[in-house]
Chain A
Amino acid sequence: MATKVLIPSPLRPYTDNLEAVEIEGSNVGEVMSNLIARYGELKRHLYTEDGKLRNFVNVYLNDEDVRTLAQGDNTPVGEQAVISIVPAIAGGR
């Protein structure tokens, strides 16, 4: 089953400029690892060298921060689920 992953504009250069991609996987972790397998350049922007999600990037399953879910990355993705990647932005001028 494919899940829609929304890509924010700062990261689109690494996903062929796509704003959303459909990625296979049964839980959040699987979808994310299939995502970085398909778009290799994304990996260093999302994860540290030891594979931890970077502290200035959040991943949401629907409207919930995956870090706050009881099962975390192992949370199953339901039908119609949307995963969003939301990096910190600082612009204001």
Chain B
Amino acid sequence: MLNLDTSQVSLSREEMERFSRHLILPEVGLEGQKRLKAGKVLCIGTGGLGSPLLLYLAAAGVGRIGIVDFDVVDVSNLQRQVIHGTSWVGKPKVESAKNRILEINPCCQVDVYNTALKAHNALELFANYDVIVDGTDNFPTRYLVNDACVLTGKPNVYGSIFRFEGQATVFNYEDGPNYRDLYPEPPPPGLVPSCAEGGVLGILPGIIGLIQATETVKILLGIGTTLSGRLLLYDALKMSFRELKLRKNPATPPITQLIDYEQFCGIPQATEQASQAEIPEISVAELKARMDAGQDFVLVDVRNPNEWEIGRIPGAHLIPLPQIENGDGVEQVRKLLNGSELIVHCKSGVRSAKALKILQAAGIQGKNLRGGILAWAEAYDPSIPKY
């Protein structure tokens, strides 16, 4: 059980009324509510996971909440990031979240860190809190959160989501396993699509985020059985929950210091540039000029059919990346080309670069449209939604 000092904590009359439904629960009671008020929680990210869990941690009476995020609210966030409202679009997420938390519980102390979590600031930040909640969206930050939790001895309440599926557990709690025991290494960049690329059901992070909130409150209260040692899998389409055992792996090397997580996750700048250098690019302006001049070329769109429904560049042919990966699409491209020049695009240029690498290996040369359809929409066609 976490060592929380409640000797200096008292609840006002207003707080007694506010938290009365907790106070009458024997498992919480006055002492438990004081523990929540004494508790200090740091939430990394105020996105899909951070939004719902922060609302409930604030409402539950957690006394001090830190929030780390460098981003601003975008209109495409509002489908799931329920702590942010329409009037906050374009403003910092941490300020939006703080505003909403204080509206729910004015007694909460909110610390905002409008910055990215990095190896140089993580340990210092974590030291001030009792529980760390991971609501991040990328592998480098997840390994950083894990390692910094291990080094500072803080429990790491973990959740992650993809499309219709989610995972949740508690790492590094009471000598339990950590993220490296579950997955010793991250996948290479590009192998696992992000939410921006793969999409996500808006309600999904609500479910997973609130599982994280539940575990956080249980840890602060010291009640129940946490998810430590268990990986919870949730499938929204099947509406099924499954549990897998999670043990410490004796082969996992001990964590002794923070490292370069971008490099660990295979995203060094130099390699990135080198790999791009192998793929010739074309700008949207050059593409437009070629179209206007009536030049002969074939434009292939490798996005998924549902993205194609959202908007498309005139004259493009849809051949989704999975078809190119399984070989059928390569032959389709070959037939289409028939001697013409090839230009490939996707949403922002990552998947089309991947497609071109496969096509190159099959002897087909082409150019990647820099910035994808988003850059095209920005420059020439405002009717295409920026999704």
Contacts and interface: CB of A to CB of B under 8 A. Distances in A.
B165 A93 contact: no
Interface string B28-52: 0000000000000000010111100
A86 B325 contact: no
A57 B324 CA distance: 23
B192 A90 contact: yes
Given A10-B192, A56-B186, A87-B192, A92 B247 contact: no
A90 B136 CA distance: 8
Interface stretch (B13-21, B155-163, B377-385): B155-163
B141 to A, nearest CB: 8
B326 A92 contact: no
B147 to A, nearest CB: 15
Contacts of B366: none
A29 to B, nearest CB: 19
Contacts of A3: none
Interface in A54-72: 54-56, 58, 60, 63-65, 67-68
A55 to B, nearest CB: 4
Contacts of B310: none
A88 to B, nearest CB: 4
Interface residues of A, number: 26
B167 A92 contact: no
Given A13-B322, A56-B185, A64-B245, A88 B139 contact: yes
Contact of A56 (B47, B164, B187, B196): B187
Given A55-B185, A92-B48, A68 B161 contact: no
A65 B183 contact: no
B135 interface: yes
A8 interface: yes
Given A56-B187, A64-B245, A92-B49, A86 B231 contact: yes
B283 interface: no
Interface in B175-207: 182-187, 191-196, 198, 200, 205
18 contacts: A9-B164, A13-B322, A45-B191, A55-B185, A58-B244, A64-B245, A84-B242, A86-B167, A86-B231, A90-B160, A90-B194, A91-B160, A91-B194, A91-B198, A92-B45, A92-B137, A93-B47, A93-B48
Interface of B: 45, 47-50, 77, 81, 134-139, 142, 159-165, 167, 182-187, 191-196, 198, 200, 205, 231, 233, 242-247, 249, 322, 325-326
Interface of A: 8-10, 13-14, 41, 45, 54-56, 58, 60, 63-65, 67-68, 84, 86-93
